[in-house]
A and B are shown apart, each in its own frame.
Chain A
Amino acid sequence: MGFKASLKIDTSKLKKIIKNRQDLIKHNIVVVVRTEAMPHLIDRIMDGYDRLSDRMSSLPDDPTNPALWRTEFKNKLLEDLERNLIVTDRGLIVRIGDKKFLGYTDDEQGDTSSTEPLTWLVYYIEGLMGDWAFISNATYKDMRGRGPTMPLGRFGEGFMISRSQFEAEGWSKVTSFEEARHPFSGFSPLDIFTEALNEFRMKPFIERAIKAAKEGRKL
């Protein structure tokens, strides 16, 4: 036995349905990445940042303590996210934590004189080999009889000096090295970005976006 059937397909309507579903998936992914995935990654980076700050617990009011600029740092990451989330036909590009604002200057265009606190972080993230003292403006005045007349580089409110330089320049006349010793002396690197990225998984966020699109929900 056999029978014949004719099937009439409205291809333009079908194309439109597929296009709409594609657009919905793309929209949902962008929303999930912007509102859930990247904030989650930033939170993980901030976990690492707090571990950096914990190392400074011995000097809570020290101007070099990253705990003092936590909000500023997080805002910078969020700003980066707003500025550098690029959606193209081929995919999604996100760039956060551009290292330049942290004082990395691996090209010749980097800012060499910034005293912005965030530019100090390069030393904390990459580790600081050797024994270092922090000379504050007050200590400088005790030693020289006047405040610094030139920019003090990265630290603004003071500068770092090695133990051998400290002894050679006679700073021990006004303070002992132990008193001025910076708690990050000799500390090993703590790469807060790589550790966060290693723990971060994008897949669950994408799956959530696609699931919502399958159900016809716009996030």
Chain B
Amino acid sequence: MLKTIVETGNRVAGLAALTARAQVVAAYPITPQTQIVEKIAELVDSGKMNAEYICVESEHSAMSACIGASTVGVRTFTATSAHGLAYMHEMLQWASAARLPIVMAVVNRAMGPPWNIWTDHGDSLPQRDTGWIQIYCASNQEIFDSIIQAYRVCEDQRVLMPAMICLEGFILSHTNMPIKIPDQKEIDDFLPRFKPGWILDVENPVSHGNIVTPEYYMELRYYMHDALQKAKQLIPEVAREYSEKLGLPDYGGLIDKYMCDDAEVILVSMGTMGSEAKLTVKKLRAGGYRVGSARIRVFRPFPRETVREMGTRAKALAIIDRDISFGMEGILFTEIRSALFDLPKKPLTKNFIAGLGGRDVTQIDIEKIAKKTYQILETGVGVEGIDWVNIRR
């Protein structure tokens, strides 16, 4: 039985932690994530959520406390944004290398200075190499669904890796949307109790994390890579099962593709820009443009194979990054190009940087991006270089 409620993305993330029966939550407030910690504090305080809530004094400690709790075999949850995530960086690596399936909501926010509380992906994308699964959402429903599914994937004995569920600050975090929530019983059937991969147990003592020489270290890293490869198989399977059992949407697994099969130009993006891109596609299709939208939901593990399939069929990919790797290009663009590199026949790829620091990316902007890509295809002019959308120079 699905119940429809209207909630902000933040509160939905809190509800997902409740429904997933997270047992220890350790979090530190930061705009725009604060409603998540407030929601959970309220749920725990009122006895509606059977969990320990640790009000830590920093994000570094939030992740450290989640690590501590996870090592004694309990399900943990936290949430952060921007500087909080950066401050956690050391412990993100610790969590993944300790193979602890911690799930975290990351409310995407631009990094300072200057202070900016609005959204872009410049906080989570630099955490690319920490071993965390990264899922980017485009609706409040997807936040709920992704958090529940993440626990299933992360706690799978073949995976045992942590995941961050990314939602854009204000666009999702503070926007009320209707979402459908299944019964607790249905969630419990889908998401069984946490079985840890290893545990601190006085009956069977182990030293975890003591010095490992070069003789063993590399294998530990290989296993982490292997685990994320397995997660890549598992994420679409779990999403399909969830959708079938609970009657909720399947977002296409790793990539949310819309009208890509016969598309000449595919708009590649992440997060809510993908929703705008869909609407743009509808409009442009009516005008005779064969365009499609590919919203990369899962950035790590990276859906290399699906990207290559799209690259084989399409003439051009317009990659819209809400981030910039200074001195190079958009981070998503680099990933897409790397996946396409050894295709015998490569599509044209063009990088658009848009929406940094929360600047609005409208349908009109995306329409311009699509048309510009067509123009480059036809004229061959403007292939090189990054296109900064609406930049004032």
Instruction: Check if A and B associate.
Output: no
